[in-house]
Amino acid sequence: MKRIKVGIINVTGYTGMELARLLCRHPKVKLASVTGRSAIGNKLCQIFPHLSDIDLIVQPELEDVALAFSAMPHKASAEGVLEALERGIKVVDLSADFRLKEAAEYQLWYQASHPAPQLLAEAVYGLTELNRSQIASARLVANPGCYPTGAILALAPAVEGGIIAPDIIIDSKSGVSGAGRTLTLNTHFSEANENVSAYALDGHRHLPEIVQELQKLTPETLSITFLPHLVPMTRGILTSCYAQLLRGETSKEEVKQLYQEFYRDEPFVKVVDFPPGTKQTWGNNLCLIYATIDSRTGRLIVISCLDNLVKGGAGQAIQNMNLMLGFPETAGLEMPAVYP
């Protein structure tokens, strides 16, 4: 069977190169074209030796493909997405440009006017577990942010099930790769190593995305506090969520059953029997979830773990691509974690 051609816009970022790594072994598609602003004219294998099996030259523009992944920064990504759609190319956008449904909300959080507001209503939020049918028929999918993926998956069963009060706290800890390859003071080795720090205390850009998607699951108005932290590791996000239970008699076993039923048929969300660690998701597309109750306070506690570059980025994007092109959802993504 002839494989379908796909391409990557901006292969030189962390999510771009992770897409290339996963796609080069995909049984149904062929990575046929890659672009990158800083590496035009260079062979991909010369830039990244671990991708030596991919015989491609980085081009200034995308060639003819059936589907493209845009791994450009926000605002710049929307411009490339618009051009690809005009050429009849389906797109999975890994930037934030099409995640929020309101242009004014985008301007508030990203301090820029939206380059293509006419596409916001059409774009489908690409959290496969919640929007599977819409993704399958979409031509534009907005891949979720890494933090929102872990947070929304951790909270969706409880919010939809109506078992918690609307006041929710989300505490997330991310590896340094989540900041991308652009150098900043906070991501220098000497600053990040042996150090844990909170940031964006006045509001992180991923907060409106979390609120937007969880709010769809309940008629109650949610009040969500989201606090991210940078921890000295390369990959991974551990998210801890806290909310007051509405029914004091709810048992730990009932919570576990709620979560197991919600994710019963999901190939990439596993409800586990003990608090997971980030290394248990290194390099694969799993989100591990542990839900329990603090019996002293009547609070729900949910822990989720994922690899921010895979389920929180490139893996989720390929999961969406599989649906958009009519492939098995798990195609190219069934690999175990690298542990320890």
SS3 131: helix
Domain 4-122 and domain 147-308 have a common topology: no
Cross-strand pairs, 329 = none
Sheet holding 164-174, edge to edge: 197-198, 223-230, 164-174, 237-245, 299-306, 287-294, 269-271
pLDDT in tens, 80-135: 999 999 999 999 999 999 999 999 999 999 999 999 999 999 999 999 999 999 99
Identify whether 241 is a catalytic site residue: no
pLDDT in tens, 16-73: 999 999 999 999 999 999 999 888 999 998 889 999 889 999 999 999 999 999 999 9
pLDDT of residue 247: 81
DSSP type of residue 209: H
Of the pLDDT bands very low, low, confident and very high (cuts 50, 70, 90), residue 338 is very high
What beta strand segments (E) does the chain contain?
Answer: 4-9, 29-34, 67-70, 90-93, 124-125, 140-142, 164-174, 197-198, 223-230, 237-245, 269-271, 287-294, 299-306
Of 330 and 188, which is predicted with more confidence?
330
- Give mean pLDDT, residues 273-284: 97
Cα end-to-end distance, the chain, whole Å = 37
Which of the four CATH numbers 3.40.50.720, 3.40.50.300, 3.40.50.2300, 3.40.1260.10 does domain 4-122 have? 3.40.50.720
pLDDT of residue 244: 97
Q: How many CB atoms lie within 10 A of CB 313?
A: 27
- Of the residues 24, 146, 241, 287, which is catalytic? 146
Tell the CATH topology of 147-308.
Answer: Dihydrodipicolinate Reductase; domain 2 (3.30.360)
DSSP type of residue 178: G
Map out the domains of the chain as residue ranges: 4-122, 147-308
Using a cut of 0.95, tell me whether the model's pTM lies above it: yes
pLDDT in tens, 196-211: 999 999 999 999 999 9
Give the C-alpha distances (Å, rounded to integers) separating 114 from 62, 78, 250, 331. Answer: 23, 8, 45, 34
- Give mean pLDDT, residues 162-174: 98
